[in-house]
């Protein structure tokens, strides 16, 4: 079975291409660093697999991503490489192409973004490019699937053919390349490529070769080369030769017409506004505010009401009727209606809000705006010991903290990476949204969007302050640079948009069927049973006993009831479970009546303190798991749990007691 590996620069449509060739779906985002692990899919047209490697600019490892690609090349000698190249930015892209050509395995080029290039007035002579590089070049538009058939045909040909790709001549260095290659034992990988990678200081290659041959000889050859060529930076020579070559290739194959000047100008104007030193941040806040407005007031909220009506009305009636027809015992009836329907249904009601939010976030991602926000945030993040790259995991964290924490892998500097992992859980993920929505509807009905925005901002502000404190006290490390390529503004593509919304939202649905379901059954059981037996008064149940204990601790924060305590314990499973718990405990048939009950137990101030607590206290179970996996450290995992609890306690205390002093209660 043939194996193909997809390699290319970040943010040029690799994942889009992967999806059309394999018919599966992976996360597509209009920014760099979205794909962090290699992914494997089955090709639709061939008997073969396709591997989606992380996007990189060159093979010389600086980040975890780049190491992944080099490792892959070292280990998997039998793949055909599908090199995806951005037609609109050939110059930057061809650098990696040259390194891949030197690998001397079958390779073909998918020249992507033909539409963007055309729009920018760039015309590329693909036939000529083929002749210059000695490999097939297929123009495509990954986003729409244009050119897919040609590419699929070419894939098979290339896999079957012998290769003699372009061989770059490094002039005076050639002698040493050959000498070094001569020292490397035979294997399935091009010795010339290995030699070049060693000269380029590719750590991953060096450490592999070190084990296999007498590396001192290689090292002394490198020193001889440095003396002979009068430089201590041999890599520079290689870079220069490659860049000159790229330059001459581009001269030959690319024609640029003037018509793109106009467009460039308008992009620059928009950029100047969106990334303005003072206006950038306020504009982002306004955009977020509008997004929440749509989520709660314009689209999500009204839809949610309809859904709630259905769930609490006809659907519950049918289930009840069904159960009595089946002659279910009262135990079973209570389990289904008071436990599962209340617990799972109570969370499902918020699907419209969650999907609206995700749709809109996907929209600003795909349009290219989010990358600009990262640039705006970079200045701020730099001041607190992070950098703009940390913004991407954080934004992903708004959907769900788990992939957010994973996305921190794109950050090369260990200190910045650890900080990002620790702080991403403070980003308000979608699981918290049902809690906010429930409470906001009671106490902040007129200003739901503003209230929720304030909680999101609270999470960010706390994260920034903690980053500053942590980086000044516990962690040392040099700051790294944040270089981001600004993607062009793109008209969002409907299909991509819906897919990425679904991708973000499906986790929520899956959770409803698994952990929220299990949590609801458990909570219902704990509320149904007590020391005195089954079907006890709820205030005599095990749940009440557990909750009571915490309730006392939380009294100074404004929510000293056993119900709140119980909801917080179960909320560790997943934050939505807080809502399930409240539904089960307060036995309310629909959102409106649950809100009436809650309004008797909370005040506006207490509610805000409670929401802030939910936002900040321990990351959920799944996030804790991924923190453990990513940091490989029990110490940091415990730290993330404990500091969260401490911060949440202190902050809620300040909110509640401070608010009382101000007479807000």
Alpha-carbon distance 177 to 200, whole Å?
11
* From the list Mg ion, ligand GDP, none, partner contacted by residue 13 (C-beta under 5 to 8 A by kind): ligand GDP
Least separation in angstroms between CB 81 and ligand GDP: 15
- Among 15, 79, 410, 424, contact with Mg ion (rule: CB under 5 A): 15
- Rounded Cα distance, 82 and 170, in Å: 25
* Strand spans (E) along 170-258: 254-256
Nearest one of 268, 350, 361 to 307, comparing CA atoms: 350
Minimum CB separation of residue 545 from ligand GDP in Å reads 50
CB of 19 to Mg ion, least distance (A): 10
Name which of 76, 19, 65 is nearest 43 in CA terms.
19
User: Which of Mg ion, ligand GDP, none lies near 60, with the C-beta cut-off 5 to 8 A by kind?
Assistant: none
Binding-site ranges for ligand GDP (CB under 6 A): 10-16, 28-30, 34-35, 55, 112-113, 115-116, 141-143, 366, 490, 493, 496
User: Which is it for strands 107-112 and 48-52: parallel, antiparallel or unpaired?
Assistant: unpaired
Of residues 204 and 496, the one with the C-beta less far from Mg ion: 496
CB of residue 82 to ligand GDP, shortest distance in Å: 12
**407 binding Mg ion? (CB under 5 A):** no
Least distance between Mg ion and beta carbon 25 (Å) = 12
Nearest CA-CA partner of 488 in 152, 40, 31, 124: 31
Cβ closest to ligand GDP, residue 52 vs residue 576: 52
Closest C-alpha to 361, from 436, 453, 288, 426? 288
* Nearest one of 396, 647, 362 to 492, comparing CA atoms: 362
Minimum CB distance to ligand GDP smaller for 55 or for 346: 55
367 binds, among ligand GDP, Mg ion, none (CB under 5 to 8 A by kind): none
Q: Cβ of residue 356: shortest distance to ligand GDP, in angstroms?
A: 20
Which strand (E) or helix (H) includes residue 111?
A: strand 107-112
Phi, psi of 52 (to 5 degrees): -95, 105
Taking the alpha carbons at both ends of the chain, their separation in whole angstroms is 70
In this complex, which beta carbon is closest to ligand GDP, that of residue 489 or of residue 525?
489
622 contact, one of ligand GDP, Mg ion, none, CB 5-8 Å limit per kind: none
CB of 34 to Mg ion, least distance (A): 5
> Residue 43's binding partner, choosing from Mg ion, ligand GDP, none, with beta-carbon cut-off 5 to 8 A by kind?
none
In the structure encoding, which two tokens stand for residue 355, read together?
Answer: 């999907």
With respect to Mg ion, which residue has the nearer C-beta, 18 or 617? Answer: 18
How does DSSP classify residue 83?
Answer: E
Query: Which does residue 11 bind out of ligand GDP, Mg ion, none, counting CB within 5 to 8 angstroms by kind?
Result: ligand GDP
Backbone conformation region of residue 84, classed left if phi is above 0, alpha if psi is from -120 to 50, else beta? beta
Please report how close the Cβ of residue 457 comes to ligand GDP at its closest, in angstroms.
Answer: 27
Given Mg ion, ligand GDP, none, residue 200, with its beta carbon under 5 to 8 Å by kind, binds none
Which residue's Cβ lies closest to ligand GDP?
A: 13
Among positions 29-68, residues that touch Mg ion (CB under 5 A) are: 34-35
Q: Chain-centre distance of CA 653, in angstroms?
A: 32
Count of residues interacting with Mg ion (CB under 5 A)? 4
Q: How far is the CB of 33 from ligand GDP (least distance, A)?
A: 8
**Closer to Mg ion at the Cβ: 13 or 519?**
13
Nearer to ligand GDP, 27 or 444 (CB): 27
Q: Angle CA(134)–CA(120)–CA(22) in degrees, nearest 5? A: 55
CA angle 366, 369, 373 (to 5 degrees): 130
The packing angle between helices 369-383 and 260-274, to 10°, is: 40
Distance of closest approach, residue 504 Cβ to ligand GDP, in angstroms:
14
From the list Mg ion, ligand GDP, none, partner contacted by residue 300 (C-beta under 5 to 8 A by kind): none
DSSP 309-334: HHIIIIIHHHHHHHHHHTT--HHHHH
Q: Which is nearer to ligand GDP, 42 or 493 (CB)?
A: 493
Residue 150 or 235 with smaller CB distance to ligand GDP: 150
Angle between helices 369-383 and 448-473 (to 10 degrees): 40
CB under 5 to 8 A by kind: which of Mg ion, ligand GDP, none does 112 bind? ligand GDP
**Which residue's CB is nearer to Mg ion, number 33 or number 345?**
33
**Which of 83, 102, 110, 96 is CA-nearest to residue 166?**
102
Nearer to Mg ion, 15 or 448 (CB): 15
Residue 242 contact among Mg ion, ligand GDP, none, beta carbon within 5 to 8 Å by kind = none
- Contacted entry of Mg ion, ligand GDP, none for residue 99, CB cut-off 5 to 8 Å set by kind: none
Q: How far is the CB of 40 from ligand GDP (least distance, A)?
A: 15
Let me know: does 299 contact 356? Beta carbons within 8 Å.
yes
Measured between alpha carbons, how far is 136 from 344 in angstroms, rounded to an integer?
A: 54
Beta bridge partners of 137: 109
Do residues 323 and 332 touch, judged by C-beta distance below 8 A? yes
Which single residue is written with the structure tokens 């991503």?
65
Residue 30 C-beta: closest distance to ligand GDP, Å: 4
Q: Note the residues at the interface with Mg ion (CB under 5 A).
A: 14-15, 34-35
């Amino acid at each position: 079975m043939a194996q193909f590996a997809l390699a290319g620069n970040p943010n040029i449509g690799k994942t889009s291409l992967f999806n059309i060739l394999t018919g599966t779906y992976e996360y597509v985002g209009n920014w760099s660093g979205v794909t962090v692990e290699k992914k494997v899919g089955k090709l639709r047209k061939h008997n073969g697999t396709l591997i989606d490697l992380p996007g990189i600019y060159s093979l010389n490892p600086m980040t975890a991503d780049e190491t992944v690609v080099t490792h892959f090349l070292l280990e998997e000698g039998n793949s055909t490489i599908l090199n995806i190249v951005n037609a609109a930015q050939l110059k930057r892209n061809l650098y990696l192409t040259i390194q891949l050509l030197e690998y001397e395995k079958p390779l073909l080029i998918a020249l992507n973004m033909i539409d963007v290039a055309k729009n920018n007035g760039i015309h590329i002579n693909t036939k000529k490019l083929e002749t210059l590089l000695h490999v097939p070049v297929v123009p495509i538009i990954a986003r729409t699937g244009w050119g897919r058939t040609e590419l699929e045909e070419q894939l098979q040909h290339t896999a079957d053919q012998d290769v003699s790709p372009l061989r770059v001549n490094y002039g005076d260095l050639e002698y040493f390349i050959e000498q070094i290659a001569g020292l490397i034992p035979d294997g399935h990988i091009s010795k010339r490529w290995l030699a070049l990678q060693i000269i380029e200081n590719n750590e991953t290659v060096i450490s592999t070769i070190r084990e296999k041959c007498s590396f001192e000889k290689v090292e002394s050859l490198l020193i001889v080369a440095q003396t002979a060529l009068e430089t201590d930076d041999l890599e520079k020579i290689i870079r220069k030769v490659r860049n000159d070559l790229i330059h001459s290739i581009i001269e030959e194959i690319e024609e640029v017409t003037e018509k793109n000047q106009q467009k460039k100008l308008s992009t620059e104007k928009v950029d100047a506004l969106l990334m303005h030193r003072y206006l950038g941040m306020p504009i982002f806040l306004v955009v977020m505010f509008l997004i929440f407005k749509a989520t709660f007031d314009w689209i999500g909220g009204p839809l949610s009401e309809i859904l709630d009506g259905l769930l609490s009305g006809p659907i519950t009636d049918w289930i009840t009727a069904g159960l009595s027809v089946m002659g279910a015992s009262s135990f079973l009836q209570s389990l289904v209606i008071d436990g599962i329907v209340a617990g799972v249904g109570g969370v499902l009601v918020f699907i419209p809000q969650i999907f609206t939010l995700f749709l809109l976030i996907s929209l600003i991602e795909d349009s290219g705006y989010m990358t600009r926000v990262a640039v705006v945030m970079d200045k701020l993040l730099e001041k607190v010991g992070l950098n703009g790259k940390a913004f991407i995991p954080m934004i992903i964290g708004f959907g769900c903290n788990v992939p957010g924490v994973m996305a921190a892998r794109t950050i090369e500097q260990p200190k910045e990476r650890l900080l990002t992992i620790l702080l991403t859980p403070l980003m308000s993920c979608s699981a918290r949204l049902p809690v906010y929505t429930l409470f906001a509807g009671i106490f902040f009905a007129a200003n739901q969007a503003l209230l929720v925005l304030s909680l999101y901002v609270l999470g960010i502000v706390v994260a920034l302050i903690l980053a500053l404190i942590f980086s000044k006290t516990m962690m040392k490390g040099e700051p790294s640079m944040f270089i981001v390529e600004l993607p062009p503004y793109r008209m969002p593509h409907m299909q991509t948009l819906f897919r990425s919304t679904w991708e973000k939202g499906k986790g929520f649905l899956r959770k409803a069927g698994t952990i929220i379901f299990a949590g609801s059954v458990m909570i219902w059981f704990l509320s149904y049973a007590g020391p005195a037996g089954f079907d006890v008064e709820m205030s005599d149940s095990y749940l009440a006993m557990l909750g009571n204990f915490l309730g006392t601790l939380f009294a100074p924060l404004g929510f000293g009831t056993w119900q709140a305590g119980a909801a917080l314990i179960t909320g560790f499973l997943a934050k939505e479970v807080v809502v399930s718990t409240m539904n089960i405990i307060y036995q309310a048939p629909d959102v409106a009546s649950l809100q009436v009950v809650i309004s008797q137990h909370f005040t506006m101030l207490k509610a805000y303190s409670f929401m802030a607590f939910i936002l900040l206290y321990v990351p959920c179970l799944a996030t804790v798991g991924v923190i453990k996996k990513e940091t490989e450290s029990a110490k940091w995992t415990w730290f993330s749990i404990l500091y969260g609890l401490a911060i949440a306690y202190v902050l809620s205390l300040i909110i509640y007691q401070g608010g009382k002093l101000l007479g807000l209660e």
